[in-house]
Amino acid sequence: MTRRNGAALAAILLLAGQRQLLAPSPPEAPFPCPSGSLEEALKRAEALPRLHSLLVSRRGERLAEQYFNGARAARPANVKSVSKSVISALVGIAIDRKLLPGVGTPIARYFPELSARGADPKKRAITIGDLLAMRSGLVSTSSRNYGSWVRSPNWVRYVLSRPLESDPGAETNYSTGNTHLLSAILTRATGQSTYAFAKKALAEPLGITFGPWARDPQGIYLGGNEMTMTPRQMLRFGELYLGRGAIDGRRIVSESWIDASFTPRGSSPISGKRHGYGWWISEMAGAPVYYAWGFGGQYIIVAPSLELVVATTSSPHVGEDRRDHRTALWSLLEEVVGRFSSAAACESAPRDAPDDVLSSGL
């Protein structure tokens, strides 16, 4: 081989080596993300004697649906104070339709007795937003006061006659009386019962049904308690909020109402949990969650960052084990959300880029 031929061969080999360095690397194996399997959580759920159902959907796809302790899919559950979140949705729809002026409207517009001679003038400052946020300032009708309230001959009058324990809008104090006043306002503003308005404005667009529930002695449907829904209907309602007020391409309530509902307005002085307009606000596994919460373990949990909705029903009856159940159920729900939180973090993690250090110098 001549010196010239040897130099030419060396150049060819060098060029081939450079091309090999520049060639794209073969596809990497899939990043080992967590599978988000719910099997372990469902096994834990089976051990909870008060639990009746657990449903999970992500991006509108139902991933888990299991029933326990004799419960069935078609059997409506008493969702207790989950009803407050439904009442909040109805108020939002009424505002969207201009049937109510807005959350800043004083409730004295609907209850003239608040402007009567001898009435506490501070009560005239209570607004629709104060009722939604549990900041009316009125002494609560819940907990130990609930029985005397529902045994009274006029539930609305009873609530309005409660003394103020704080200025309206100042402090959070949980009370079903607040949401019952909202039901009375909806009845007067829409010209129909809360039940009729709920069926037409919310249930029918969602493709679900509401059965009638308890009414007060004047025929006003109880605002904030005793509604019945199947677990699938609860999941559907949660998906409406996940969709920011729209579902299946249909707008039911405005995006601005979802935002307002999920904005913290105060915190419970007992639990410290934050509260919006009819929704509780917390975190699970590092993800923000917004949830409807009913006595005994009725939950609709919406985790927008994970595109996740979880619904549970439990025995609504008073029992010595109900607090233990609530603790165990919350832990279980954190486990469920945590699986998807880990998977979401993995999905958004950057993949390792091909090594281009050598090629950058050529």
**For position 344, what pLDDT does the model report?**
63
State the average pLDDT for the chain. Answer: 88
Q: Is residue 15 part of a domain?
A: no
Helix pair 176-190, 82-96: axis angle to 10 deg:
30
Long-range contacts of 197-200 (CB under 8 A, 24+ apart): 197/90, 197/94, 198/86, 198/90
Least confident of 51-65, 203-217, 258-272, 345-359: 345-359
**For position 271, what pLDDT does the model report?**
86
Sign of CA dihedral 330, 182, 86, 227: positive
Summarised one tens digit per residue, pLDDT across range 268-318 is 988 889 999 999 999 999 999 999 999 999 999 999 999 999 999 999 998
Q: Is residue 217 part of a domain?
A: yes
| Cα 10 from Cα 127, distance rounded (Å) | 87
142: domain CATH number?
Answer: 3.40.710.10
Of 300, 285, 176, nearest in space to 241 by CA: 300
Compute φ and ψ for 53, nearest 5 degrees: -155, 155
Residues ≥6 apart with Cβ < 8 Å to 333: 284, 299, 301, 310, 312
Q: Is residue 2 part of a domain?
A: no
Tokens representing residue 129 in the block: 């937003």
**For position 346, what pLDDT does the model report?**
60
Q: Is the model more confident about 353 or about 81?
A: 81
Its pTM stands at 0.86
CB contact at 8 A, 128 and 104: yes
Summarised one tens digit per residue, pLDDT across range 79-134 is 999 999 999 999 999 999 999 999 999 999 999 999 999 999 999 999 999 999 99
Total number of domains in the chain: 1
Summarised one tens digit per residue, pLDDT across range 245-266 is 999 999 999 999 999 999 999 9
Kindly tell me the burial class for residue 272, based on how many C-beta atoms sit within 10 Å of its own C-beta (0-12, 13-18, 19 or more).
Answer: exposed
pLDDT of residue 8 exceeding 80:
no
Tokens representing residue 154 in the block: 């006029």
| Cβ neighbour number for residue 92 with a 10 Å cutoff | 25
Q: Is residue 13 part of a domain?
A: no
| Cα 195 from Cα 206, distance rounded (Å) | 15
| Cα 46 from Cα 299, distance rounded (Å) | 17
| Cβ neighbour number for residue 324 with a 10 Å cutoff | 12
Q: Which domain holds residue 205?
A: 39-345
Which pLDDT band, with edges at 50, 70 and 90, does 18 fall under?
A: very low
Mean pLDDT of the region 201-222: 97
Q: Is residue 111 part of a domain?
A: yes
CB contact at 8 A, 255 and 243: no
Helix pair 39-46, 322-348: axis angle to 10 deg:
180
| Cα 33 from Cα 345, distance rounded (Å) | 9
* C-alpha gyration radius of the chain: 28
